Structure 1
Amino acid sequence: MPEPDKSIGRKILSFFVKDEEPGTATGTPPVASSAPVVPRPSASVPTPGVTSPGSVTPVGESPVSTPGTVDSKFAEHLANVLAQNNPPGPDYFEFRETLRSLSNLGLSEEKQFQAAWASFKALAGSVDVTVLTNTANGYIAALNKDRDGFAKSVETALAERVGGLQNEQKRLQTDNESLAKQLVEIQKQIDANTNRLTAITGEITEQSAKITQNRQNYETTFAHFTDQIKDDIAKMAHYLK
């Protein structure tokens, strides 16, 4: 599928994320990641970011994560996914754009939906509400497909980055157990391995926390998009009979 017009992606993004919403910045390109190349769905999935290690968490403690937020790079990415799956001709998004233009006229929600539907029918020559619900469901399907691709990239990042560090940790721990039984002359090697173990523990904790947080940000952004579409579908079914 050819790359969508960037203006379409910006328009779609504005349907879901307002400029003043916390944690978002429309117009900001996604941050490049050093993640390994993995298979992608229709649009390139942002890969869970990993940065250099910082503070060290003691052995045995779990990585600390916070609730996800609507992330600007994921918002732009999902908007581009929707733009790439935007079929020719008027559909759900044209209806939603009309609906948004009526939001400041003081009309009730029902009147807004009915007025938007009347305008859409005049534009599209359609009298069947299913043209809206079907295309809206199609966008949800596209987002779900992209979510599956993102989940695979998360698992790949965890396996390759954290898994490698965990394997090294286990190997060095076994090595230390053997070295501890030897003569005092090899004490320096034990100390060196112990220092590396401490560093690895911090890396595992930090990388796990960052990847998990990135996944939660994606899930929150995903829910932000899909909930709005589902809410519109429900309202269309209720108001546009």
Structure 2
Amino acid sequence: MPETDKSLGRKILSFFVKEEDAGTATGTPPVVASAAPRPSAPASVPSSPTPNTSPAAPPSNTGTTTTGVVDPKFAEHFANVLAQNNPPGPDYFEFRETLRSLSNLGLPEDKQFQAAWASFKALAGPAFAGAGNATVLTNTANGYISALNKDRDGFGKSVEAALAERVGGLQNEQKRLQTENDTLAKQLVEIQKQIDANTNRLTAITGEITDQSGKITQNQQNYESTFAHFIDQIKSDIAKMNQYLT
């Protein structure tokens, strides 16, 4: 932005927002301050400030509504928008400066506006000397409103893009993680079923081991007893053969 526009932007910023007003709730009446000289020709509307797309904490589910505040960076941005859309010659801002100069005289509001209009026409020169109404003021004031609305439209689009990029991405991640958790939960159920089945089988196996061990041991003992009976019978026969047949 050219230095002239920067200077004008700072003056317009002080016209609308005093330093102590930054951070107050949106809807606070603007503070009237001094207007400023005009650049020689109008300039184009600056691009809207980019919304903050840094990661933020998840939104609260408490149902509370967030209230906006007068943000210094946006106040400066709007002042620059107005400065860049300021036409040459006297207009709404000069009138407001004149009106401000009368604010401490104790006049009723209607008298302030009437006196400011008369003073503005005198200061503006012959071009406004015979002006019967304030059309030039309302036209330029509406022009500033149009410039701010245009900037707001651009900012709204940038907000939508930021939401699609950041919030949309987070929502997709949220769905993915929830799906993974659901899948893992199902797997845990199946794993627990398998653990329960294995535990039941382990209990059954313990009884089977005791039963089979007993049977095998008994079978071994029967074998040894039968073996000993045969050996003893044969040895007895051998001894008798040696005794009776020799």
Class of the TM-score when normalised by the shorter of the 2 chains = 0.5 to 0.7
Give the number of the structure with larger relative contact order, counting CA–CA contacts within 8 Å between residues 6 or more apart: 1
Between 164-173 and 80-89, the greater mean CA deviation after superposition? 164-173
Deviations 1:118-141 (A, max 9, x none): 121123231141111100110111
Instruction: Say if 2:23 and 2:72, in contact at 8 Å, map to a contact too.
Output: yes
Please point out which of 155, 158, 168 is paired with 1:153: 158
Q: Kindly tell me: are residues 15 and 174 of structure 1, through their superposed partners in 2, closer, same or farther at Cα, counting changes over 3 Å?
A: same
State the one-letter code of the partner of 2:173: E
Residue 112 of structure 1 corresponds to 112
Classify 1:78/1:166 alpha carbon distance in 2 versus 1 (closer, same or farther; 3 Å): same
Cα pair 1:9 1:82 within 8 Å, conserved:
yes
Residue in structure 2 matching 1:43, options 46, 56, 64: 46
Which has the larger displacement, 98-107 or 10-19? 10-19
Q: 1:152 to 1:62 in 2, by over 3 A?
A: farther
**Distance in structure 2 (CA, Å) of the matches to 1:155 and 1:57:** 17
Aligned residues: 168
How far off its partner does 1:65 sit? 4.2
Compared CA separation, residues 75 and 53, structure 1 to 2 (3 A): closer
CA contact (8 A) 1:90 1:123 kept: no
Q: In the aligned structure 1, how far is the partner of 2:12 from the partner of 2:59?
A: 41
| 1:177 maps to 2:179 | no
SS at match of 1:145: helix
Relative to its length, the structure with more helix (as a share) is 2
Counterparts of 1:103-142 in structure 2, within 5 Å, are 103-124=103-124, 125-126=127-128, 127=131, 128-142=133-147
AA at the equivalent of 2:118: A
Looking at structure 1, the residues matched to 59 and 144 of structure 2 have their Cα atoms a distance apart, in angstroms, of 42
The two structures have a TM-score, normalised by structure 2, of 0.59
Distance 2:46 2:164 in 1: 23
Structure 1 distance, partners of 2:74, 2:88, is 25
Q: What is the aligned partner in structure 2 of residue 233 from structure 1? A: none
Letter in 1 for 2:165: E
Pairwise CA RMSD of aligned residues? 2.9
Residue matched to 2:5:
5
The equivalences for 1:65-84 within 5 A come to: 65-84=65-84
Structure 1, unpaired ranges of 5+: 25-40, 188-241
- Whether the 8 Å CA contact 2:92–2:140 is kept in 1: the answer is yes
Evaluate the alpha carbon distance shift between residue 53 and residue 151 of structure 1 in structure 2; reply closer, same or farther with a 3 A threshold: closer
| Cα distance in 2 for residues equivalent to 1:57 and 1:87 | 43
* Distance in 2 separating the partners of 1:46 and 1:71: 12
CA distance in structure 1 between the aligned counterparts of 2:5 and 2:56, rounded to whole angstroms: 38
**2:51 match: secondary structure:** coil
Report if the CA contact (8 A) 2:82-2:148 is conserved. yes
Contact residue 92 and residue 132 of structure 1 kept, 8 A: yes
What is the rounded CA distance, in whole Å, between the counterparts of 2:59 and 2:97 in structure 1?
48
8 A contact 2:22–2:71 mirrored in 1: no
TM-score with structure 1 setting the length = 0.61
Aligned-pair distance for 1:175?
2.7
Give distance in 2, aligned partners of 1:57 and 1:130: 47
Deviation at 1:74, TM superposition (A): 1.1
Q: State the distance in 2 between where 1:162 and 1:10 align.
A: 34
Which whole-Å CA distance do the structure 2 matches of 1:57 and 1:10 have between them? 35
**Structure 1 pair 167–103 and aligned structure 2 pair: CA distance change class (3 A):** same
SS of aligned partner of 1:116: helix
Alignment of 1:19 onto 2:19: yes
